[in-house]
C-alpha cells in the first residue's frame, strides 16, 4: 500500500526506480521521490492526522518508504514555541521557534532525515550505514544504526567540538576523522559508497534522506492550526533543509491540508561560510564554493550539494539571506537562551542573528508572522560560551554568609539603579521589558 512511485530528476524530470540513486545520469540533477498523490490525499487528512502518534511518521504517505518505519518512532513533532520575549527584543509582533534542539534521540534536526534514510537503507538491503558529517549527522546516524543493529561508519573533519565527536563515539560506530574540510570528507565518502556499496545517509541515500526534512514544513503548518506563517528563517549548510521546508508547505497545500500563500523563506549562514547568501546578494545562479572559517562548524559547508535548490527556493518564495559574524552568533545563542530558555548551538545562534539583521534591514516586516528554525542543541558546543558566562558565586554553607552576600549585592544594585528604580530589570545591564523595540534597535 505504498504511495512511493519512484524517483524523478529535479531538473529534467527523467524517471528512475526507487533505488539508491541520487543523481540523474542524463543531466546530473538531484533526484527526488514521486508519490501517488491521489492515494495520499485519500488517507492523509486533517482528521486522520489528529489521531496519529506525534512523530514524523504521521506524514508517512509523503515519506519515501515502502514498508513499516524501522526507527524514528520518537523523532520529529518537536515544539513550535511562541517566542514572545524574543519577539519583543527583536521588535516584532508574532514569532515562533521551531525547536529541533530537543529532537529525539540526538538533539538536532538530523534525527528527521536519518529516520527516513535508515529505514530506507534497511528496505534496500544495506548492512553498512554511514555518512559524511559536520557532527550532528554523525551523532544521529550512529544512534539509529545502533538501534537497528547496522554496522556503522561515520566520517567527520578532524577539528570538530569534543562533545560532538563523543556524541557519536558513545554508540560505538567506527568514527573516521579526516584531515580536511567537510567538503573533502564528502568527496571521499562518495568514492567509498560507490566502491564498497555502503548506504550513506546523505550521499547515495540522499534522495530519501532529504524527504525527512519536509516534515519541518508539515509540522509548522499543522502546529499553527493548518496555517502558514508569512516568513521562515532557516540555516543552510548542505542545503537539504531549506528547500524541503518549502516542499513540505507546497505538498500540504496540494493535498488540501492548508491553504494560502507559501511563506517567504530566508537563508541564514555564518559570515565565515556563506556561499549561498553571497550568491543571493550577488545575483549568481550557483553558489561559488568557499573555504569555511567559522565557529558554526555544523553549518560549515563550503560547497553545498543542494545550493542551487536553496537559491531557487529563496527566489521563488520572495525571501532573502543574511549572515552573522562569530561574535553575533554567540550573541544570538545568548539572546535565545535568556529570552526563551532554549540553549542552541552556533547554527541556531546564526539563525537568530540573521533574523535580527533581516528585521533591521526591513526585509522582514515587524508586524508579520515569523518562524525561525532552531536546528541544534547548545549542550554539544557549550565550551564556546564559557568565556561569556557570569561566574558562580562561591560561598560557605552558612546561611549568614549567603545573607551577607545577598545584602551586599542588593545594595550594590540599588546604587546603580537608584535614579531610575525600574522594576522587572535584570542584571548585567539588560534592558527593561518595558523598553520599546525602537529604543533597542533604532531604525537609523
Ligand X SMILES: *Cc1c(COP(=O)(O)O)cnc(C)c1O
What whole-number distance in Å separates Cα of residue 294 and Cα of residue 272? 5
Q: Which ranges constitute the DSSP H helices of 341-419?
A: 346-360, 399-417
SS3 of the chain: helix, strand, coil, percent, to 5 = 45, 15, 40
Mask for 329-348, x = binds ligand X (CB under 6 A):
----------------x-x-
What whole-number distance in Å separates Cα of residue 306 and Cα of residue 195? 23
239 binds ligand X (CB under 6 A): yes
Nearer to ligand X, 161 or 345 (CB): 345
Segment lying near ligand X (by CB under 6 A), choices 104-112, 332-340, 389-397, 430-438: 104-112
138 binds ligand X (CB under 6 A): no
| Subset of 246-305 contacting ligand X (CB under 6 A) | 298-299
Q: Give 360's DSSP letter.
A: H
Segment lying near ligand X (by CB under 6 A), choices 67-75, 158-166, 231-239, 323-331: 231-239
Q: Which of 240, 309, 313, 355 binds ligand X (CB under 6 A)?
A: 240
CB-based burial, 321-356: b 16+ in 10 Å, e otherwise: bbbbebebbbbbbbbbbebbebbbbbbbbbbbbbbb
CB of 109 to ligand X, least distance (A): 6
136 binds ligand X (CB under 6 A): yes
Q: Which of 236, 274, 280, 364 binds ligand X (CB under 6 A)?
A: 236
381 binds ligand X (CB under 6 A): no
241 binds ligand X (CB under 6 A): yes
Segment lying near ligand X (by CB under 6 A), choices 23-31, 108-116, 257-265, 386-394: 108-116
Segment lying near ligand X (by CB under 6 A), choices 68-76, 239-247, 334-342, 406-414: 239-247
321 binds ligand X (CB under 6 A): no
CB 374 within 8 A of CB 101: yes
Segment lying near ligand X (by CB under 6 A), choices 59-67, 103-111, 286-294, 331-339: 103-111
Biggest CA pair distance of the chain: 79
Nearer to ligand X, 103 or 369 (CB): 103
Cβ neighbours, 10 Å, residue 289: 13
CB of 419 to ligand X, least distance (A): 44
376 binds ligand X (CB under 6 A): yes
CB of 393 to ligand X, least distance (A): 33
309 binds ligand X (CB under 6 A): no
Nearer to ligand X, 77 or 109 (CB): 109
Three-state helix/strand/coil letters over 29-95: CEEEEEECHHHHHHHCCHHHHHCCCCCHHHHHHHCCCCCCCCCCCCCCCCCEEECHHHHHHHCCCEE
110 binds ligand X (CB under 6 A): yes
Segment lying near ligand X (by CB under 6 A), choices 183-191, 232-240, 283-291, 433-441: 232-240
108 binds ligand X (CB under 6 A): yes
Cα separation values, 397 from 69, 185, 400, Å: 53, 52, 9
Nearer to ligand X, 298 or 339 (CB): 298
The cell for 398 is 552558612
Query: What residue number has its CB nearest to ligand X?
Result: 376
Q: What is the DSSP string of 329-347?
A: HHHHHHHHHHHHS--B-HH
CB proximity list for 264: less than 8 A, separation 6 or greater: 230, 231, 232, 317, 318, 319, 320, 364
What whole-number distance in Å separates Cα of residue 32 and Cα of residue 30? 7
CB of 404 to ligand X, least distance (A): 44
Contact residues toward ligand X (CB under 6 A) are: 108-110, 136, 235-241, 298-299, 345, 347, 375-376
Amino acid at each position: 500500500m505504498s504511495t512511493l512511485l519512484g524517483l524523478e530528476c529535479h531538473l529534467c524530470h527523467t524517471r528512475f526506480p526507487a533505488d539508491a540513486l541520487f543523481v540523474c545520469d542524463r543531466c546530473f540533477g538531484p533526484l527526488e521521490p514521486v508519490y501517488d498523490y491521489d492515494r495520499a490525499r485519500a488517507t492523509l487528512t486533517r482528521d486522520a492526522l489528529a489521531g496519529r502518534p506525534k512523530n514524523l511518521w504521521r506524514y508517512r504517505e509523503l515519506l519515501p518508504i515502502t514498508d513499516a518505519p524501522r526507527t524514528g518512532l520518537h523523532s520529529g513533532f518537536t515544539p513550535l514555541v511562541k517566542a514572545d520575549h524574543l519577539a519583543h527584543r527583536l521588535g516584532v509582533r508574532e514569532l515562533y521557534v521551531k525547536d529541533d534542539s530537543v529532537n529525539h534521540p540526538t538533539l538536532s534536526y538530523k534525527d528527521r532525515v536519518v529516520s527516513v534514510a535508515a529505514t530506507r537503507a534497511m528496505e534496500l538491503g544495506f548492512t553498512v550505514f554511514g555518512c559524511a558529517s559536520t557532527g550532528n549527522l554523525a551523532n544521529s546516524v550512529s544512534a539509529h544504526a545502533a538501534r537497528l543493529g547496522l554496522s556503522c561508519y561515520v566520517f567527520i573533519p578532524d577539528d570538530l567540538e569534543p562533545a560532538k565527536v563523543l556524541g557519536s563515539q558513545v554508540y560505538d560506530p567506527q568514527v573516521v576523522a579526516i584531515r580536511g574540510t567537510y567538503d573533502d570528507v564528502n568527496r571521499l565518502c562518495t568514492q567509498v559508497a560507490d566502491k564498497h556499496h555502503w548506504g550513506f545517509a546523505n550521499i547515495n541515500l540522499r534522495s530519501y534522506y532529504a524527504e525527512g526534512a519536509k516534515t519541518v514544513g508539515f509540522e509548522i503548518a499543522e502546529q499553527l492550526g493548518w496555517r502558514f506563517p508569512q516568513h521562515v528563517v532557516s540555516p543552510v549548510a548542505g542545503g537539504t533543509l531549506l528547500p524541503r521546508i518549502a516542499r513540505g508547505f507546497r505538498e500540504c497545500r496540494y493535498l488540501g491540508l492548508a491553504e494560502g500563500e507559501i511563506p517567504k523563506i530566508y537563508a541564514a549562514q555564518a559570515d565565515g561560510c556563506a556561499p549561498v547568501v553571497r550568491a543571493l546578494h550577488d545575483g549568481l545562479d550557483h553558489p561559488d564554493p568557499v573555504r569555511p572559517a567559522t565557529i558554526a562548524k555544523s553549518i560549515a559547508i563550503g560547497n553545498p550539494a543542494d545550493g542551487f535548490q536553496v537559491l531557487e527556493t529563496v527566489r521563488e518564495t520572495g525571501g532573502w539571506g543574511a549572515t552573522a559574524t562569530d561574535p553575533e552568533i554567540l550573541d544570538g545563542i545568548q539572546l535565545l537562551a535568556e529570552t526563551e530558555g532554549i540553549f542552541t548551538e552556533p547554527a541556531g545562534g546564526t539563525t537568530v542573528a540573521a533574523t535580527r539583521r533581516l528585521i533591521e534591514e526591513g526585509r522582514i516586516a515587524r508586524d508579520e508572522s515569523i518562524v525561525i528554525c532552531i536546528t541544534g542543541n547548545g549542550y554539544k558546543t557549550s565550551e564556546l560560551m564559557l568565556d561569556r558566562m557570569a561566574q558562580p558565586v562561591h560561598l560557605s554553607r552558612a546561611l549568614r554568609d549567603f545573607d551577607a552576600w545577598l545584602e551586599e549585592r542588593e545594595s550594590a544594585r540599588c546604587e546603580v539603579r537608584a535614579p531610575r528604580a525600574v522594576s522587572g530589570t535584570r542584571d548585567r545591564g539588560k534592558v527593561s521589558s518595558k523598553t520599546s523595540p525602537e529604543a533597542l534597535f533604532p531604525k537609523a
